């Protein structure tokens, strides 16, 4: 999981709010011409075109707008607030509650991990959100593609891995394949033998490409594994 820093919301969403401000019945996700495509595009740019949960590469046609707190939960909480004469929060249309995730909407064969695995699950304390500033440090990846909580007692990290399926065998294989392809694995066809070159890759993977606005697919696990690999090379005397 990669930390997502929420910035300014998509202008189309701001305009939609303004148009419907006096029509509270319209202020619901998907209603009254809600600008889903523009919101998704804004989220993709914000995230560097990687899935908020799995870090798979995503794009305009391979992703959907995901609610961190599910829409059903948002609306049921607002219904309770209304019944109690309290102000509603409308989190189902809040930029702060939306991210971009794989897969695309209405996909026939849904992957057994990521947003489709998470489905309507959410927990105030046991869900480790990609908006949490500490999320990158609370997972550890090994060179075989596996993921685990960085600390054995981290209940939220462990529960999030399970609920989102971040330990799914297919995802593990995809992560390991990325390590092998990058040359930061002992069994790569062409393993990198220069720690300095690995350091250069780490610097590249640690930030968004300013031309494409993309982050590297699996950027966080790539950086973690690359750091361990660079240290391994140095202990073997490589320069």
pLDDT tens-digit map of 88-143:
999 999 999 999 999 999 898 999 999 999 999 999 999 999 999 999 999 999 99
Both tokens of 9, joined, read 């919301």
Mean pLDDT of the chain: 97
- Collect all residues with Cβ–Cβ distance below 8 Å to 204 and sequence separation of at least 6: 216
Mean pLDDT confidence for 11-24: 96
Angular region, 180: left φ>0, alpha ψ -120 to 50, beta rest? alpha
Query: Using the 8-state DSSP alphabet, how is residue 105 labeled?
Result: T
pLDDT score for 120: 96
Could you tell me the maximum CA-CA distance found in the chain, to the nearest angstrom?
69
Q: Which of 143, 203, 195, 217 minimizes the C-alpha distance to 173? A: 143
pLDDT-derived band of residue 180, with 50, 70 and 90 as boundaries? very high
Residue 101, classed as helix, strand or coil, is: strand
Q: What percent of the chain has pLDDT over 90?
A: 97
pLDDT score for 239: 82
pLDDT tens-digit map of 181-219:
999 999 999 999 999 999 999 999 999 999 999 999 999
CA-CA distance, 146 to 117, in Å (whole number)?
A: 18
Q: How far is CA 165 from CA 119, 129, 140, 168, 213, in A?
A: 11, 14, 15, 5, 27
Query: Using the 8-state DSSP alphabet, how is residue 200 labeled?
Result: H
């Amino acid at each position: 999981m990669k930390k997502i820093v929420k910035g300014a919301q998509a202008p189309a969403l701001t305009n939609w709010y303004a148009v419907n401000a006096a029509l509270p019945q319209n202020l619901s996700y998907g209603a009254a011409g809600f600008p889903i495509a523009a919101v998704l595009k804004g989220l993709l740019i914000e995230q560097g075109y990687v899935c908020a949960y799995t870090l798979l590469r995503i794009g305009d046609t391979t992703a959907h707008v995901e609610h961190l707190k599910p829409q059903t939960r948002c609306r049921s909480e607002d219904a309770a607030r209304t019944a109690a004469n309290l102000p509603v929060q409308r989190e189902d249309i809040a930029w702060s509650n939306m991210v971009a995730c794989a897969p695309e909407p209405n996909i026939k064969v849904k992957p057994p991990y990521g947003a489709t695995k998470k489905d309507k699950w959410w927990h105030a304390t046991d869900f480790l959100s990609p908006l949490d500033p500490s999320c990158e440090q609370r997972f550890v990846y090994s060179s075989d593609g596996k993921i685990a909580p960085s600390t054995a007692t981290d209940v939220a990290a462990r529960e999030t891995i399970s609920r989102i399926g971040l330990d799914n065998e297919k995802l593990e294989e995809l992560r390991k394949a990325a390590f092998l392809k990058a040359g930061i694995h002992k069994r790569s066809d062409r393993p990198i033998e220069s720690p300095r070159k690995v350091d250069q890759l780490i610097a590249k993977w640690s930030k968004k490409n300013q031309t494409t606005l993309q982050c590297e697919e699996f950027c966080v696990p790539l950086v973690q594994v690359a750091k361990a690999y660079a240290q391994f090379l140095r202990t073997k005397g490589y320069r």
